[in-house]
Amino acid sequence: MQAIHSMKNIRNFSIIAHVDHGKSTLADCFIRSCGALQEREMVAQVLDSMDIERERGITIKAQTATLRYKSEQGGEYELNLIDTPGHADFAYEVSRSLGACEGALVLVDATQGIQAQTVANCYKAVAQGLDIIPVINKIDLPGADIERTTSQIEQIIGLSVENLLCCSAKTGAGTREILEAVVHNFNSPQGDPQAPLQALVIDSWFDAYAGVVVLVRVMAGELRQKAKVRFMEDGIERYANEIGQFTPRATPCDTLTCGQLGYLIGAIKDLSVAKVGDTITTASHSATKALPGFQQVSPQLFASFFPIEADLFVQLKEAFERLRLNDSALTLEYENSVAFGQGVRCGFLGMLHLEIIQERLSREHQVESIITAPSVAHEIELTDGSIVIVKSAAELPSPTRIRRICEPMAEVTILQPEQYVGSVIQLCNAHRGRQLAMEQSGLQAISRWRLPMAELVMGFVGELKSATHGYASFDYEASGFEVADIVRVDILVNGDGVDALSMLVPRGMAERRGRELLIKLKDAIPRQQFKVPLQAVIGGKIIAREDIRALRKNVLAKCYGGDVTRKKKLIERQKRGKKRMRKFGNVDIPQEAFLAVLDMSSGNG
Ligand code: GTP
């Protein structure tokens, strides 16, 4: 593609919306109507390149496409479109994408109306000073209510509907008008093309063939192929071996000029060199100041992974390190559990992030593992005044050394039809929530809450959906720490502590959570030849107990006589089952028992 040399003819924009409102489909539509790909090359949601993204129909990584567009009113434009993820776990990707744009299309599903993430993402765009065009999508559906959606856009997010557009990303109706509006209503990028290079790192990922690929937005100056560039944060220098744009295929070019969006490949093996938010400048004619960058993302949820067989740890470790190459939000720490041996303690952005990593681990790397119940990080103030961050119950210092425990909090926005307000209040109260605000807008109510992060990962989203028959939507943001009365509950199986099952819970909920866990364990652990007590304890005091009754029959009981093949078969089957089990003292705990614990904590799926 030939470069467009005037900055006036460049438009950088994002599509932001609530999950499933049609961003990726609209992006496909734009790619198609700009003729960037042949019809035979098009697959639905072309920018969702990971298998999991396609299967789950969600966008995980923000993707870009540089398109060439001929306006109906004359003039040829370079459109840099950034597709963004909608799920709250990946909200940080939205902020980054917006950092590279001058405009945003706020897409709203005409059948669903405004949802929590529409509001949250739209506020982010407004805060970053972007031009906004509201677009109502899915107008082809019989349930589309354009009038109601329009008034929600005005009343709930307070956007002017003067330049509102309607479309169907599925049929393509109205999408040409959106491209015209992008060209005529959004500002072109600003910046000094003569100044020293300042390119903002929007994203970076690992490609098996090319090494690290860095997505940049040139804010000042220009980036030339073969130039020696410097990553300003660490001062590391590399040659820009290849630069180019995604059209949406990677297409090399000689220069990325001021205002353009593109990629850089420069023999970089390690993702930590190309940190998101860093500034790239030329080594010879350097910029004196780096760009402001982005807020760092921090993991909210922690879980440990242990290999099914202890000798597979190296394989698990390598798989995680490879996954991390492509996911800077994933944090890894190696640990040793009494029960499981070596494992990896991982930090995730939320439940969905955890599930995706878990799936990629078994799908892309064929590593099966045991996962402990996810927990949040607690801030512990010790009696000597020092502060430690504890990411798993097993790490909790002895109670005599603890002055107080603080837990992470979240600010939650919930949008719900008016008739569900009561159920939402009840649910949030049950999850230790504190209401911050409640507004009514037509038939919709928006409420803001402060909730412990631990509650959000303990099935809150699933419960919200069932309490409101799927009509409520929610968004959250991490919001500091607060003092809480938290205790550590340990689980004993046949008198032996299983450290991986310990959990930190509010004192008032300890008994209930302990009992729930024991009941699940009771179902999941096979009966033994003897009675097995399961106990939940706090500092040696038993708070709940369940017993697994002794087994009366053995698997060969029915096979008397000389039926050797049948016996062998039964024994083989038993062996296969056992392969997946790990031994604790004299009780087998199958992986399902651990998954049952994980299940209790999820519900976000
Ligand atoms: P995330 O990537 O998960 O944030 O979702 P998204 O906003 O990118 O939504 P996506 O494009 O994946 O669309 C969600 C579903 O809505 C898909 O099944 C689309 O086929 C469907 N869809 C999108 N736009 C339209 C439309 O205009 N009309 C109809 N009928 N369906 C649409």
More confident residue, 338 or 202: 202
Tens of pLDDT, residue by residue over 350-407, are 877 888 888 888 888 888 788 877 889 999 999 999 999 998 888 888 888 999 999 9
State the closest ligand 1 atom to the C-alpha of 57, by its place in the atom list counted from 1: 12
Tens of pLDDT, residue by residue over 276-323, are 788 999 988 888 887 876 766 778 888 888 887 778 888 899 888 888
Pairwise CA distance, residues 440 & 127, whole Å:
23
Q: How big is the CA angle at 229 (ends 6 and 189), to the nearest 5 degrees?
A: 25
Picking from 462, 589, 582, 573, the residue whose alpha carbon sits closest to that of residue 523 is 589
Distance 603 CA to ligand 1 centre (A): 23
**Crossing angle of helices 175-185/23-33, nearest 10°?**
90
Average pLDDT over residues 552-563: 63
Phi, psi (rounded to 5 degrees) for 318: -65, -40
Average pLDDT over residues 456-484: 84
Q: Which has the minimum average pLDDT: 158-162, 242-246, 468-472, 595-599?
A: 595-599
Give me the percent of the chain exceeding a pLDDT of 70. Answer: 84
DSSP string covering 355-376, please?
HHHHHHHHHHH---EEEPPPB-
Average pLDDT, the chain: 82
In three state form, how does the secondary structure of 544-574 look?
EEEEECCCCCCCCCCCCCCCHHHHHHHHHHH
Average pLDDT over residues 418-433: 92
Compute how many other C-beta atoms are within 10 angstroms of the C-beta atom of residue 211: 16
Residue 422 has pLDDT above 50, yes or no: yes
Q: What is the pLDDT of residue 555?
A: 61
What's the residue count for the chain?
A: 605
pLDDT band of 59, cuts 50, 70, 90 = very low
Distance 22 CA to ligand 1 centre (A): 3
- 57 CB less than 6 Å from ligand 1? yes
Query: If 0-12 CB within 10 Å is exposed, 13-18 middle and 19+ buried, where does residue 605 land?
Result: exposed
Spatial contact of 374 and 457, defined as CB atoms under 8 Å apart: yes
Average pLDDT over residues 484-508: 87
Residue 271's SS3 state is: coil
Residue 335 has pLDDT above 50, yes or no: yes
What tokens appear for 172 in the block?
Answer: 């393509």
Picking from 445, 448, 444, the residue whose alpha carbon sits closest to that of residue 433 is 448
Residue nearest to atom 3 of ligand 1 (CA): 58
- 59 CB less than 6 Å from ligand 1? yes
- 60 CB less than 6 Å from ligand 1? no
Picking from 584, 589, 526, 591, the residue whose alpha carbon sits closest to that of residue 553 is 526
- 21 CB less than 6 Å from ligand 1? yes
pLDDT band of 50, cuts 50, 70, 90 = very low
Measure the CA dihedral 506/511/515/518, to 10°. 70
Pairwise CA distance, residues 603 & 605, whole Å:
6
Q: What is the pLDDT of residue 154?
A: 87
- 91 CB less than 6 Å from ligand 1? no
State the closest ligand 1 atom to the C-alpha of 85, by its place in the atom list counted from 1: 4
pLDDT band of 344, cuts 50, 70, 90 = very high
Residue 48 has pLDDT above 60, yes or no: no
Max avg pLDDT among 76-90, 170-184, 257-271, 472-486:
170-184
Predicted TM-score (pTM) of this structure = 0.69
State the closest ligand 1 atom to the C-alpha of 83, by its place in the atom list counted from 1: 8
Spatial contact of 265 and 280, defined as CB atoms under 8 Å apart: no
Query: Can you tell me which residue has the tokens 């994408």?
Result: 97
Distance 65 CA to ligand 1 centre (A): 18
Task: Answer whether the bond into residue 417 is a cis peptide, omega within 30°.
Answer: no
Residue nearest to atom 22 of ligand 1 (CA): 22
Strand 402-417 and strand 444-452: the pairing is: antiparallel
Q: What is the pLDDT of residue 97?
A: 78
Distance 57 CA to ligand 1 centre (A): 8
Average pLDDT over residues 474-499: 87
Picking from 574, 489, 585, the residue whose alpha carbon sits closest to that of residue 526 is 574
Residue 450 has pLDDT above 90, yes or no: yes
Q: What is the pLDDT of residue 365?
A: 80
Residue nearest to atom 23 of ligand 1 (CA): 22
pLDDT band of 452, cuts 50, 70, 90 = very high
Compute how many other C-beta atoms are within 10 angstroms of the C-beta atom of residue 201: 25
**Residue among 18, 19, 20 to mutate when testing ligand 1 (max atoms within 8 A of CB):** 20
List Cβ neighbours of 314 (8 Å cut-off, separation of 6 or more): none
Q: What is the pLDDT of residue 133?
A: 95
Query: If 0-12 CB within 10 Å is exposed, 13-18 middle and 19+ buried, where does residue 20 land?
Result: middle
Q: Which has the minimum average pLDDT: 87-101, 108-122, 398-412, 536-550?
A: 87-101
- 54 CB less than 6 Å from ligand 1? no
Tens of pLDDT, residue by residue over 8-30, are 999 999 998 887 888 888 988 88
Give me the percent of the chain exceeding a pLDDT of 90. Answer: 31
What region does 304 belong to: left with phi over 0, alpha with psi -120 to 50, or beta? beta
- 58 CB less than 6 Å from ligand 1? yes
Residue 535 has pLDDT above 60, yes or no: yes
* End-to-end C-alpha distance for the chain, whole angstroms: 41
Q: What is the pLDDT of residue 465?
A: 84
More confident residue, 43 or 155: 155
Pairwise CA distance, residues 589 & 587, whole Å:
6
